[in-house]
Copies of this chain bind each other. A is one copy, B any other.
Amino acid sequence: MAIAAHNHNDEHLLSTDNALDTLQNLVKDDLLAVNHAIVDRMQSRVTMIPQLAGHLISSGGKRLRPVLTLLCSRLCGYQGTRHIPLAACVEFIHTATLLHDDVVDDSSLRRGIESANAVWGNQASVLVGDFLFSRAFQIMVEDGSLRVLEILSAASAVIAEGEVQQLANSNDLRTTEQDCLAVITAKTAKLFAAACEVGAVVSNQPAKTAQSLATFGLNFGISFQLVDDTIDYAASDSAIGKQIGDDFREGKVTLPVLLAYVRGTQQDRSFWKRTIERQELREGDLACAISLMEKYEVLNDVRSRAREYASAACKGLDDFPDTHERQALSEAAKFCANRAY
């Protein structure tokens, strides 16, 4: 089932046999415990909360971010159980972000997908997101590590900044490549980084180790989101149940759009100005956008950059012992950089 936000396509990866499955299998029991913690801690006497949160949480996600927390803890040799509730925290923050991402403006009600806000309305999505976010902080307080609280509160603030920046960049082709990367880093990569760093913190690793894992997560996250941004313009026959063109219809200035605009002729640029800036959309515009991206090799270039970030991520793990955990993390980063959906 295709859920919610287009820029979180990890949910579509879930039934195939791939590097992410390997990742999951390595922390199978831990992940089961995380799933229990998630279901347990999203309960409320207000029944709409577990209903709405469950809609998103139980819809088959691979729990990529909490798995990073689990696996990074194991990579650091951690033997305790603190990583379980903290991994649930990371998933709550991610889910709150998804719920808030899907809140629509009066002007953009046409997406028509079965997102939580389409079923329960904007207000409920916002408020349940707030609940999950607050609950995440309650779980961190129970854990009692101020350092974990610092990492995840900072990540949350940066995510919000990234999302606001992305909104501010919408419909604005003066956005630079650097702007695009800053948005990607803030809205996606920062939580990957935090998820990994928390694994080092629970394991009482020195700051340098924590920093290495944070950098691994950051590069992985940038790579992940770069690919995500290409998927929105992938040819429609490449995957089942996938919705493409959301970013395009919303006038999001992602890297593929920006490169196609910068590399385009005067006529091409007029097309991008009409569609992205003025959002005057006509039949066939998405196909035209895709063909312009193909013409200028934009999607290949972005995917190539994604692979570079994935390589950088893997390289960052060089100082760790060559365990199954390290291999699985590396393979997952490479797999995500090469995924087509």
- Residues of A whose CB lies within 8 Å of any CB of B are 44-49, 96, 100, 103-107, 109, 121-124, 126-128, 130-131, 133-135, 137-138, 140-141, 144, 146, 149-150, 153-154, 156-157, 159-161, 163-165, 167-168
State how many angstroms separate the Cβ of A187 from the closest Cβ of chain B. 10
State how many angstroms separate the Cβ of A212 from the closest Cβ of chain B. 23
**Distance, CA A106 to CA B47, complexed state (A):** 23
Q: Across the interface, do B168 and A48 meet the contact criterion of CB distance under 8 Å?
A: yes
Residues of B within 8 A of A107 (CB): 121
Q: Which residue of B has the minimal Cβ distance to A148?
A: B141
Q: Across the interface, do B153 and A138 meet the contact criterion of CB distance under 8 Å?
A: yes
Q: Across the interface, do B126 and A161 meet the contact criterion of CB distance under 8 Å?
A: no
State how many angstroms separate the Cβ of A188 from the closest Cβ of chain B. 14
Choice from B96, B104, B126, B165 contacting A46 with Cβ under 8 Å: B165
**Distance, CA A181 to CA B138, complexed state (A):** 24
**Distance, CA A137 to CA B135, complexed state (A):** 13
**Distance, CA A245 to CA B320, complexed state (A):** 63
**Distance, CA A168 to CA B123, complexed state (A):** 11
Residues of B within 8 A of A109 (CB): 106
**Distance, CA A138 to CA B131, complexed state (A):** 18
Known: A141-B146, A144-B146, A149-B149. A124 touches B164 (CB 8 A): yes
Q: Across the interface, do B106 and A164 meet the contact criterion of CB distance under 8 Å?
A: no
This chain: copies in complex: 2
Q: Across the interface, do A161 and B49 meet the contact criterion of CB distance under 8 Å?
A: yes
Q: Across the interface, do B134 and A153 meet the contact criterion of CB distance under 8 Å?
A: yes
**Distance, CA A189 to CA B156, complexed state (A):** 26
Q: Across the interface, do B44 and A161 meet the contact criterion of CB distance under 8 Å?
A: yes
Known: A137-B149, A146-B144. A131 touches B161 (CB 8 A): yes
Q: Which residue of B has the minimal Cβ distance to A161?
A: B46
Q: Across the interface, do A160 and B127 meet the contact criterion of CB distance under 8 Å?
A: yes
Q: Across the interface, do B164 and A48 meet the contact criterion of CB distance under 8 Å?
A: yes
Q: Across the interface, do B153 and A141 meet the contact criterion of CB distance under 8 Å?
A: yes
Q: Across the interface, do A164 and B105 meet the contact criterion of CB distance under 8 Å?
A: no
Residues of B within 8 A of A123 (CB): 103-105, 167
Residues of B within 8 A of A96 (CB): 130
Q: Across the interface, do A131 and B157 meet the contact criterion of CB distance under 8 Å?
A: yes
Residues of B within 8 A of A167 (CB): 48, 121, 123-124, 127
Q: Which residue of B has the minimal Cβ distance to A163?
A: B127
Q: Across the interface, do A164 and B127 meet the contact criterion of CB distance under 8 Å?
A: yes
**Distance, CA A163 to CA B127, complexed state (A):** 7
State how many angstroms separate the Cβ of A321 from the closest Cβ of chain B. 32
If A48-B168, A134-B157, A141-B150 are given as contacts, then 19 extra A-B residue pairs at C-beta distance below 8 Å, sorted by A number, are A44-B161, A48-B164, A48-B165, A100-B126, A100-B127, A103-B126, A106-B109, A107-B121, A122-B122, A127-B160, A128-B160, A128-B164, A130-B133, A138-B150, A138-B153, A141-B146, A141-B149, A141-B153, A146-B146
